[in-house]
Amino acid sequence: MPSKPVFAAPYETIMIRALDLQSKPLSIADLAGRAGRWVRPNLKLIFLVLFVPELIYHLSWEAFSWLLEKQGMGAFLSWPGVALVASLLVLILSLYEIAARCVAIWFLIIAKEVEFSKALSRARKARLLLVFFPTIVNELLVALPFGFLLLIANEIDKLGHKAHGLGLDLVILNGFLFLLLWTVPFKAIFMANMAAAFTILAREESIASGLKKVIYFCRRAPHTVLYAILAFALIASIIEVPSMLAIVAENIIKATITFDKELIEWAAAIVRILISAGMVLISLGFEIAAAALLDNELRIRLDGCDIIEGINRLANKPA
């Protein structure tokens, strides 16, 4: 696959490997394999472009959790309430920036732009909040039950030392089970949103025509779309398993370490955030490529774009 230079600062020395958009129908497994193979040579670009907003996203989640855990019901009063709302706003803004940078990478992949700065500027002019609204709602739907769980844990702990940390045990156990049960459905919603966003923002000229194309894909090939979304979501969830293990390890450290407890807790939290951000970036790179490959696959299967391109090549071939 040829490489394309990204000329805009601060990425002058970074090369983006072109995504190998197939010219014949492939299986979903083949698409997943191609998406995975695209991620490895582009890891440096993915981390440079997406690490900062992804880190801010994780820190906003951390602030939201810390406020509820430390303040309890008081988190809704006075300055903690303002900070709680601010953490959610920062979370939404970080999601907006992540979405803009994903769209910018798509523009580079399909050669709509050759400079990252221009691609990012063009992406920010799109109606990202509208197109990625399902993802934002999904995040808030996660925040509500997670916050409720933390409040219950806090209230149990406040019953006294007789509880022996029962509240924290509850949030650790239920939080991990909740994470396992929610991860794949959460990823499926996000993957579906990414696939639709690629079609709407990168391949079509308007949101209206993009929505029509998405509906057309879903009506003509519902099983292919559903199978692909679930398969890609499962793969992305597996990629993020180290993040779950980091949460478990952090909670074990908190429960067993007695010396320099506050310092150890902060150090464990920082390591966990960095691991989580790194794993999410790898899965996000996979989802960026998978969305583009799925759109191309559906166009081949339903529109016969591979046949049209072959005819055009023959027509333009010199005699």
Cβ-based neighbours of 215, under 8 Å, separated by 6 or more: none
In three-state form (DSSP H/G/I as H, E/B as E, the rest C), the secondary structure along 100-148 is HHHHHHHHHHCCCCCCHHHHHHHHHCCCHHHHCHHHHHHHHHHHHHHHH
Cβ-based neighbours of 193, under 8 Å, separated by 6 or more: 131, 132, 134, 135
Q: What is the pTM of this model?
A: 0.82
Identify the pLDDT of residue 145.
66
Q: Which residue is listed with tokens 């391949």?
A: 203
SS3 27: coil
Region 108-130 average pLDDT:
88
Cβ-based neighbours of 71, under 8 Å, separated by 6 or more: 80
pLDDT digits (tens, 9 = 90+) for 138-190: 888 877 766 666 666 565 555 544 444 444 555 555 555 555 556 788 889 99
Q: What stretch of H or E contains 159?
A: none
Domain ranges (residues) in the chain: 3-316
Region 4-19 average pLDDT:
57
Decide: 285 and 46 in contact? Cβ < 8 Å.
yes
- Whole-number Å distance between alpha carbons of 14 and 6: 6
Decide: 189 and 119 in contact? Cβ < 8 Å.
no
- Reported as a pLDDT band with limits 50, 70 and 90, residue 314 is very low
pLDDT digits (tens, 9 = 90+) for 222-254: 999 999 999 999 999 999 888 878 877 877 777
Which span out of 18-32, 57-71, 86-100, 165-179 was modeled with the highest average pLDDT? 86-100
Identify the pLDDT of residue 75.
52
Tell whether the model's pLDDT for residue 8 goes beyond 50: no
